[in-house]
Structure 1
Amino acid sequence: MDAAPAPSRGAPPLWAEAAPFCTHRLAVGSGHVLHVEECGRADGIPVVFLHGGPGSGCSPRQRGLFDPARFRAVLFDQRGGGRSTPLGGLRANTTAHLVADIERIRTALAIERWIVFGGSWGSLLALEYAGAHPHRVAGLVLRGIFLGSPAELRTYTERIPPRAPGLRQRLAEEALIRLPRARSRHAEDDLLATWCRRMLAGRPETRCAAARHWLDHERALMGEPPLAAPPDARELAKARIQAHYLAHGCFTDAARLLATCAALRHLPAAIVHGADDPVCPPATARALHRAWPAAEYTEVTGAGHSGLDAAIAAACVAALDRVAECAHRGAHPRRSR
């Protein structure tokens, strides 16, 4: 394993935010319409950004990951999230549908091949897309690795944030779940299944309370304060879509994803992960690197999960530059030190 010290936090890692030079509303079937934006230069190196979630959307700050003088960056809100419609829509919303959407966007924008940049949930989606369409991928940048395995989900739900209640206690306080008398190997699986049921089939007030507890659990792990008000429409949509995906095992298989790396070893790739990531622990990123040893691996000391943390963002910006250069030369990026 190669470890990289955190870059200096004195220098801003992001490029200045700039408005998209083009935005699109792309109908992809089953009533879904995606918000798609292009940033940078129209003749730049194409790169598609896959946001986390599922159910989240892109933010203007994420445009700053891409050098506007070098890249043609394509950012879009995945089905049901952000500015895509219908907000929170679950119909025809699976990992396979999202992979098909990425390919529809590429075709609609007349891009032959592009770099795929995915963070957190987006890293899983990037691997799914690359496995399905390897000839359309020029390289990959993967940050905050998540593969959707049962072990990852157990770790997430059972983790108790510092100086904050865990998910089980949050739900129990409003009688949304009973605390078991004795913890079992499957207790956290039961907790996740119960939360998903509350989000997908509960009464509106139950769904709102469950969503708030889920979002506050995530915020506490990220070192952020709890929500100051009940979840808004986008936050409720995010929690609902996450429950939908988690209830179905993210419509994927972690072992299969790792196995697909063998067919991607010809592509330049970089993996960036925070050494202190409490949301997606580094063990998953290390497993991905073992399955894909040719990929550059950077574990950022002292960094957590946020892709916009100064140290993580700086490492991602640098990794993207190296992958773009290697894609141009037909080489692999150097290992980080």
Structure 2
Amino acid sequence: MPDAQTRTRRTLYPEIEPYETGMLDVGDGHTLYWELSGNADGKPVVFLHGGPGGGSSPDHRRQFHPEKYKILVFDQRGCGKSTPYASLDNNTTWDLVEDIEKLRTQVAKVDKWQVFGGSWGSTLALAYAEKYPERTTELVLRGIFLFDQYEIDWMYKDGGASQIYPDKFEEFLAPIPEGERGDLVEAYRKRLTSDDKDEQLTAAKAWSKWEGDIVTLLPSPETVEHFTSPEVAVAVARIENHYMASHGWLGEGQLLRDATRLRGIPGVIVQGRHDSCTPPIAAWRLKQAWPEVELNIIPDGGHLFSEPGVTDGLVRATDKFAGV
């Protein structure tokens, strides 16, 4: 077998269009946009996007062999094409876990499925699989975020990602007066929930720009422009901040403690060595708690699934479980 330096890398599958789309009323005032693509009789998989508040994209369908998989992609509460936009009401990790179950039974109409999640999607995938292990055939995860305090501090306190991106962190600090910088998540929460829409948008753009600046090894103006556009920034910033301020409605260490419920479920973690949003230590700790999982640390990988080495690892994982 050729080694990692010489073998041919796998890229995303060609673009495909959904064969069915719709809106699912999940109660609590929320309606979710969903789409099915690939092979209607294929191996079922649900894709859980990052964020929270990030939304899905057409490229998310392309990580799965279209002839082998029945692919369900959806927008979580408050983001993408789901309604109401940027709503924080009844928007918690456990609301989303139950949404996934409703999508399984009412849209995909399958008994069990593969769960694929990246970044925040990895958190959600773990929460779902630990609650519904009998409904989970495999897990494919990228960029593990366990929602423990050290990970939140890494992103939003001086001493974590700020040590790698000091100039970008200084821009993140700029909207917050020096006297309020002790708890940046709370300081931003006040502004992101303000009735002053101008103040809210200014804070949203700054919050989202910080993520856009550090989310990829190869930053581009297009990436930052995407994160700071009003149609993305407000949902990403409001909902993500809402989750960070609430610790994801997860106890400290909860996902690691409950990883015993994953025993017997095969999985693959694809983790960029140079991931500045979800550092490899979380993936390493999860591996210790869940020995069955295969951990692939990509030496030239960052955070996004579009990083070449990360794309390669993810497509290989989904191909493996589809018998390709």
Instruction: Describe the shift of the 1:13–1:293 C-alpha distance in structure 2 as closer, same or farther (beyond 3 A).
Output: same
Instruction: Describe the shift of the 1:241–1:60 C-alpha distance in structure 2 as closer, same or farther (beyond 3 A).
Output: same
Q: Are the counterparts in 2 of residues 208 and 230 from structure 1 also a CA contact under 8 Å?
A: no
Do structure 1's residue 224 and structure 2's residue 220 form an aligned pair?
Answer: yes
How far has the Cα of 1:314 moved from its partner? 1.1
Amino acid at match of 1:134: P
Residue 170 of structure 1: aligned partner? 171
How far has the Cα of 1:300 moved from its partner? 0.4
CA distance in 2, matches of 1:83, 1:263: 33
CA distance in 2, matches of 1:107, 1:274: 34
How far has the Cα of 1:77 moved from its partner? 0.3
Identity rate, percent:
36
Aligned pair count reads 313
Residue 144 of structure 1: aligned partner? 143
Instruction: Describe the shift of the 1:91–1:163 C-alpha distance in structure 2 as closer, same or farther (beyond 3 A).
Output: closer
Instruction: Describe the shift of the 1:228–1:116 C-alpha distance in structure 2 as closer, same or farther (beyond 3 A).
Output: closer
Instruction: Describe the shift of the 1:178–1:220 C-alpha distance in structure 2 as closer, same or farther (beyond 3 A).
Output: same
Residue 98 of structure 1: aligned partner? 96
Instruction: Describe the shift of the 1:70–1:211 C-alpha distance in structure 2 as closer, same or farther (beyond 3 A).
Output: same
Question: What TM-score does the superposition give when structure 2 sets the normalisation length?
Answer: 0.90
Alignment deviations for residues 19-69 of structure 1 (CA, whole Å, 9 cap, x no partner) = 001112100002211111111000000000000000011100111101101
Instruction: Describe the shift of the 1:219–1:161 C-alpha distance in structure 2 as closer, same or farther (beyond 3 A).
Output: farther
How far has the Cα of 1:212 moved from its partner? 1.2
Do structure 1's residue 76 and structure 2's residue 74 form an aligned pair?
Answer: yes
How far has the Cα of 1:135 moved from its partner? 0.8
* 1:1-337 paired onto structure 2 within 5 Å: 5=4, 13-108=11-106, 109-157=108-156, 158=158, 159-160=161-162, 165-167=167-169, 169-174=170-175, 176-178=176-178, 190-201=183-194, 203-221=196-214, 222=216, 223-225=219-221, 226-227=224-225, 231-325=229-323
Q: Are the counterparts in 1 of residues 209 and 227 from structure 2 also a CA contact under 8 Å?
A: no
CA distance in 2, matches of 1:95, 1:30: 14
CA distance in 2, matches of 1:32, 1:154: 30
Secondary structure at 1:46 match in 2: strand
Secondary structure at 1:271 match in 2: strand
How far has the Cα of 1:322 moved from its partner? 2.2
Secondary structure at 1:218 match in 2: helix
Larger relative contact order (CA 8 Å, sep ≥ 6): 1
Instruction: Describe the shift of the 1:171–1:232 C-alpha distance in structure 2 as closer, same or farther (beyond 3 A).
Output: same
CA distance in 2, matches of 1:7, 1:153: 37
Instruction: Describe the shift of the 1:283–1:148 C-alpha distance in structure 2 as closer, same or farther (beyond 3 A).
Output: same
**Structure 1 gaps, min length 5:** 181-186, 327-337
Secondary structure at 1:201 match in 2: coil
How far has the Cα of 1:324 moved from its partner? 4.0
**Structure 2 gaps, min length 5:** none
Amino acid at match of 2:135: R
Question: What TM-score does the superposition give when structure 1 sets the normalisation length?
Answer: 0.87
How far has the Cα of 1:196 moved from its partner? 1.9
**Over aligned residue pairs, what C-alpha RMSD do you find?**
2.3
| Bigger Cα displacement from structure 2, 17-26 vs 156-165 | 156-165
